[in-house]
Amino acid sequence: MVLLKKYFPMIDKRVANAFEATKDVPNNATIMLGGFGLCGIPENCISALLKSGVTGLTCISNNAGVDDFGIGLLLKTRQVKKMISSYVGENAEFERQLLSGELEVELIPQGTLAERIRAGGAGIPAFFTPAGVGTEVAEGKETRIFEGKTYLMEQWLRADFSIVKAWKGDTSGNLVYKGTARNFNPMMATAGKITIAEVEELVPVGTLDPNQIHTPGIFVHRIFQGKDYEKRIEQRTISNSVI
């Protein structure tokens, strides 16, 4: 490790905070926002985008947050032009904008969304899947038959900026996620022209076990340690009964 650091010095990708990390996100940008439900979402960067006033965003995310949290905050201020998602059932403002025609929406089966993002990161322009065949999802898309079964062609998804959130990261951008935060963050980190990572804990290079790294630093361009994470529960179900 000492020899590697001497002859191949690691790039320090740290920036001061979310505002510094997202300051060059322009109007009409396409951005991927990691997370699953409200788990593993880049809360600090969403707050920074909210305060920056950037508009016309196309947001690629598994979900649209809730009315007062996550991407729902950007929807409330009309900063989002289009949502590309698989689940949007927890956001009344999203529903209102969709039904009124104020918001463009592309709803995608969740597995297809994940694979389109993965394909974008892997440099695969298109692939075939049986999901969506015979439904509105298939309208205008090419189909082919393989071994007697009909498949639908889907194209990759890529973004100007991928904004992800990890549990731990080092100063060279290597990332470790925890739990369901691994559902979309790792693949999104590979599919953006510029990838921004916010982490709960930022550590020096060499601290993380190489066998535990989920996103190699080669994919990450900017990293910072976030703060004040709320970690909300999307739907809280409680019981008054005593066991």
Contact predicate 52/77, CB 8 Å:
no
The pLDDT tens digits of the residues spanning 196-225 come to: 999 999 999 999 999 999 999 999 999 999
Question: pLDDT at residue 233 above 90?
Answer: no
β-pair type (159-170, 175-176): antiparallel
What average pLDDT does range 114-118 have in this prediction?
Answer: 97
Sign of the Cα pseudo-torsion (106, 111, 112, 118, in order):
positive
Is residue 240 helix, strand or coil? coil
pLDDT, mean over the chain: 92
How much is the pLDDT for 2? 52
How much is the pLDDT for 214? 97
The pLDDT tens digits of the residues spanning 31-72 come to: 999 998 888 999 999 999 999 999 999 999 998 888 889 999
For residue 130, which amino acid is it? P
The pTM for the full model equals 0.89
**Can you list the domains of the chain with their CATH numbers?**
12-127+157-225 (3.40.1080.10)
The pLDDT tens digits of the residues spanning 128-141 come to: 999 999 999 899 99
What average pLDDT does range 93-110 have in this prediction?
Answer: 91
Question: pLDDT at residue 7 above 70?
Answer: no
Question: pLDDT at residue 147 above 60?
Answer: yes
Question: pLDDT at residue 111 above 80?
Answer: yes
Cβ neighbours, 10 Å, residue 239: 6
Question: pLDDT at residue 154 above 90?
Answer: yes
Residues shown for the chain: 243
Task: State phi, psi for 97 to the nearest 5 degrees.
Answer: -65, -35
